[in-house]
């Protein structure tokens, strides 16, 4: 079995790579690539995201055929895909960071700046926050409700259909921090920076 982490110049993804390799423990092959054939033939794909919604979408589109390959992998062939941080946000139809930018359109919804309530809440939202698990999710197997996860973000995905939401976190409002829709999974928090609990989530995804 192999898991491919998509390398599309979205910022430093070394912690994602290291955490997946640690969780895989040599039992599963972890590959980091932008090679379309390798992505297409993978068992599972991880879509990291660091930077702005606009810059990540542009980086995806800069690799000829990558978006089509991801669509084929996740939507046509329904293989497991995990989006992390902006990787999750790009599932949306549209994001409003920097400028209005079209997303992948896998989850009906839009990505808006978090309401800081006139500066009452600092942006970006950085640090550990509690996970409120609201529906059973395969990647939360063995994870206790109210576990703390590590966040770094100023924008949030607001889906049209709340049934895809598997967990939220309280910051300035009830922020969506995890989604599950059939074979598509996403976390707004960084499992790769969330210590042993984050590694457990990574392990759950690897073992789907």
Task: Round the CA-based radius of gyration of the chain to a whole number and report it.
Answer: 16
Tens digit of each residue's pLDDT, the chain (208 residues):
999 999 998 778 999 999 999 999 988 999 999 999 999 999 999 999 999 999 999 999 999 999 999 999 999 999 999 999 999 999 999 999 999 999 999 999 999 999 999 999 999 999 999 999 999 999 999 999 999 999 999 999 999 999 999 999 999 999 999 999 999 999 999 999 999 999 999 999 999 9
Q: Which of 56, 97, 156, 190 is catalytic?
A: 190
Q: Say if residue 119 is exposed, middle or buried (CB neighbours under 10 Å; 0-12, 13-18, 19+).
A: exposed
Look up the domain containing 123 and give its range: 2-206
Q: Which of 97, 156, 180, 192 is catalytic?
A: 192
Annotated catalytic residue 190: yes
Quote the pTM value: 0.97
**86: CATH:** 3.40.50.880
Q: Which of 31, 58, 85, 100 is catalytic?
A: 85
Domains: count for the chain: 1
Annotated catalytic residue 85: yes
């Amino acid at each position: 079995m192999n898991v491919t982490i998509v390398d599309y110049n979205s910022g430093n993804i070394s912690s994602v790579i290291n955490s997946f390799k640690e969780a895989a423990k040599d039992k599963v092959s972890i590959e980091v690539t932008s090679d379309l054939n390798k992505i297409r033939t993978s068992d599972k794909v991880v879509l990291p995201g660091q930077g702005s919604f606009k810059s990540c979408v542009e980086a995806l589109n800069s690799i000829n055929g990558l978006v089509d390959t991801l669509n084929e992998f996740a939507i046509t062939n329904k293989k497991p895909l995990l989006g992390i941080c902006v990787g999750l946000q790009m599932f949306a139809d549209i994001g409003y960071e920097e400028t209005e930018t079209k997303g992948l359109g896998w989850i009906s919804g839009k990505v808006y700046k978090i309401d800081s309530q006139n500066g009452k809440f600092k942006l970006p939202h950085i640090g550990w926050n509690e996970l409120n698990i609201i529906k059973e999710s395969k990647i939360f197997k063995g994870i206790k409700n109210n576990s703390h996860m590590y966040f770094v973000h100023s924008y949030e995905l607001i889906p049209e259909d709340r049934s895809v939401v598997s967990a939220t976190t309280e910051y300035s409002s009830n922020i969506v921090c995890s989604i599950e829709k059939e074979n598509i999974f996403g976390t707004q928090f960084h499992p790769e920076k969330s210590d042993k609990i984050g590694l457990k989530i990574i392990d759950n995804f690897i073992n789907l």
